[in-house]
Structure 1
């Protein structure tokens, strides 16, 4: 059974008109012979509205009850989507995550998919129906509803594609694909035709709000090609493919073009800006073995994910500082864990550590350059830091890997940093001159051999003479793009 999984984000099903338009895509795929599974997010801002509603009832809602509440948003979306498909003349059925056989493990609000038993989904597909599954949710070992965290519908779609052996998974949202930078910040940002899983994972981890990083990790492990495209435009979008695929096993004859995602040379592909993190520091910790481990173990016990870690060189007083970045949603737990660590250090006595304290800075942003082979090319880091220096942007923290170089700057300078770097690395869309407009680039594009093929007596001499001849009509050269 040739299966395709389509995922529609909240903006794609925000109102009845958009739901109908998205349903038309699913119905068209079914008419073309595909077995279609659709994963739907909660319409519009319904999830945020439900969370806000719960907090109006109680300041800190119970995690289990919060999952029970917010999961209803996706249930509403699936029912409406199935209704639209039936109205278009195709059989469809809506399923919750539990009905679709999605089993989870882990805490409420951040569960992970443990396994999928797609028996019900396969049964409905064999009946010729379009199966519409609620994203973002599953069933925990106690039989309760558990949600998968922000962007969990992406994870649901990729997991179902893996369990059903789908050819690929299409992710529909309000963006046309993956860009070299956020088009809202950089107007001439260029849409990428393809990008590797590794680069996309780094881009998402660096703050690009395109796909959930966990879903990309799952797709990379299962070797499921992803296509990110707009629900409102017919363009193909961006393929996210395994590195080294070169189009092998492509779902369509157009996939060989994905070879552009494979390279053995240094290549900067895109930029990302993340304003959703905070910088936390614990100052004046003793410079002795085990001090940093004691702090980090506290953070691990509080389940605080760390993004960047920087330890300063020891000072004359025998102390140093430890700084890191984390998401704003984890800031309260991280601050509490650090304060407890600082109290323990002060309680241990001794000159070193008696002034241990915690500092927090929310006015920061993380700017990242993403590509391949970056650690082997010091000129990339050099150009990045020189560009920021010329723009008078100070750097607070740096992290580098083979796929990403990140710098923490002031939040108010983040967008200016992205625009400057986008220009420095020449990532913008190329603007072709108007058809027939003679420029130096167009003249030099054609060799003397090409000129001989278009005329018996090609013009001789300099570039200026060729332009003069063209403008005065003495010589007509057919310009080919």
Structure 2
């Protein structure tokens, strides 16, 4: 008998009809002779609705109290799904994150899983029950409810699969696998049969919303077999694994990220240690810096530009204004009307001309590149946000036809 962990996102359980559909998938897996742990997100837009309610009462509420509120969304989902499974005649129990043994750090709204006490999960599985677990949440050392942040249910599912040595972890969503681009926006997008952990991690980090990057990191670390499937269609999905077939396509996907802003520091002193003084301060503020571009020195000064998430722009600019080095700069500007478009593929490092092909596609579409970042398996460009969808289509067409 194998243990299978299944995770269902908010769209998969958004209403009674979808919940009944999920219950059928789960019970079919159980009746095939498997132990089953199901991780569920809050229904539909429940989390956004709860955030809106919080803001109506107190926009500056503490993160602890926000976590207490947001954790309620998953509690509703697991109870409703358990009821649907009960109706189908299968033994089932629903558990909140802390009941399932999730112990986290105390970083409210973005907690990290420290460990999972699998005792309760094992006990319920030994009773031949289907176990339905609230994703996205746990308990910290102060016995306070904590949440893992956006995409946390993916991470919860992979963590259970890793801790309990599951045969596989199936992530059910509203698309039937990982595509070379968002199939809802790029008609010619192709579904991938398989993709490596590294490629999936890059796509997830760069804006593809199929899997959360933290879940892919964990799957790679603990060698958890992942599969992305549709909860609406019974068709094969995309497998995420360590290695894939040798003769695979060069580029695996094109991703877009609108949650990005560019900050430019104009005219800082052209001398050793300047970059260190700037970026060490941002690191101390826990600001995530991505693409960095530094100009060639001129007249004893240089310009430094970099990108940060839009939610951290204000914090970053305010911090820089207190930096003695930056105080001597001509100006600090920021632009939130930009997007990052990227291509990802493990094969590109051994094939010259990939970057040129991408840049040619953007040139043909008359799209200006503001910044460029590269690694062994990805190339990212920063462009105007209004050009982002055209850029994805143009680049995708260039590589995939």
For normalisation by structure 2, the TM-score amounts to: 0.97
Structure 1 unaligned segments of length 5 or more: list them: 244-260, 348-352, 429-481
2:339 to 345, 361, 365: 365
Residues 67-116 of structure 1 show CA distances to partners (whole Å, capped at 9, x for unaligned) of 11101101111111111111110111111110001111141111111111
Alignment size in residue pairs? 401
Q: What residue number does 1:240 align with? A: 240
SS in 1 for 2:98: coil
Which of 336, 351, 368 is the equivalent residue of 1:377?
351
Q: Quote the Cα distance in structure 2 between the aligned partners of 1:22 and 1:331.
A: 40
**Does the 8 Å CA contact 2:370/2:383 hold for their aligned counterparts?**
yes
Residue 176 in 1 paired to residue 159 in 2? Answer: no
Tell me the alpha carbon deviations over residues 251-289 of structure 1, each in whole angstroms, 9 at most, x when there is no partner.
xxxxxxxxxx34388811111111121111222221112
Alpha-carbon offset, residue 345 of structure 1 = 2.8
1:328: which partner in 2?
310
Instruction: Tell me how far apart the structure 1 counterparts of residues 351 and 303 of structure 2 sit (CA, whole Å).
Output: 30
Are the equivalent residues in 2 in contact too, given 1:104–1:139 (CA < 8 A)? Answer: yes
Q: Per-residue deviation at 1:395?
A: 0.4
Larger RCO (CA under 8 A, 6+ residues apart)? 2
Q: CA deviation at 1:128?
A: 0.8
Cα distance in structure 2, aligned partners of 1:214 and 1:359: 31
**What SS does the corresponding residue of 2:138 show, helix, strand or coil?**
strand
Instruction: Report the 3-state secondary structure (helix = DSSP H, G, I; strand = E; otherwise coil) of the residue aligned with 1:298.
Output: helix
Following superposition, the deviation at residue 56 of structure 1 comes to 1.0
**CA drift at 1:4:** 0.3
| Alignment-derived partner of residue 218 in structure 1 | 218
Match for residue 271 of structure 2 among 246, 267, 288: 288
1:345 aligns with 2:357: no
1:335: Cα distance to partner? Answer: 2.3
Q: Which residue of 2 aligns with 1:102?
A: 102
Asked whether the equivalents of residues 268 and 302 of structure 2 are also in contact (C-alpha less than 8 Å), the reply is yes
Tell me the TM-score normalised to structure 1 length: 0.81
Cα contact 2:277–2:325 (8 A) shared by 1: no
Runs of 5+ consecutive residues of structure 2 not aligned to the other structure? none
Judge conservation of contact 1:178–1:238 (CA < 8 Å) in 2: yes
User: What secondary structure does 1:295 align onto?
Assistant: helix
Greater CA radius of gyration, 1 or 2? 1
Post-superposition Cα deviations, 1:7-31, rounded to whole Å, max 9, x if no partner, equal: 0000000001101110111111111
Q: 2: distance between equivalents of 1:288 and 1:78?
A: 58
Q: Is the 8 A contact 2:253 2:345 kept in 1?
A: yes
User: What corresponds to 1:439 in structure 2?
Assistant: none
Is 1:90 the equivalent of 2:73? no
SS in 1 for 2:251: strand
Change in CA separation of 1:295 and 1:264 when aligned onto 2, cut-off 3 Å: farther
Structure 1 contact 266–372 (Cα < 8 Å) conserved: no
Displacement, 1:301?
1.3
Partner in structure 1 of residue 287 of structure 2: 304
Partner of 2:146: 146
Deviations 1:318-364 (A, max 9, x none): 121222222222223222222222xx2366xxxxx253x32111111
Conserved 8 A contact 1:374-1:401: no
8 A contact 2:254–2:343 mirrored in 1: yes
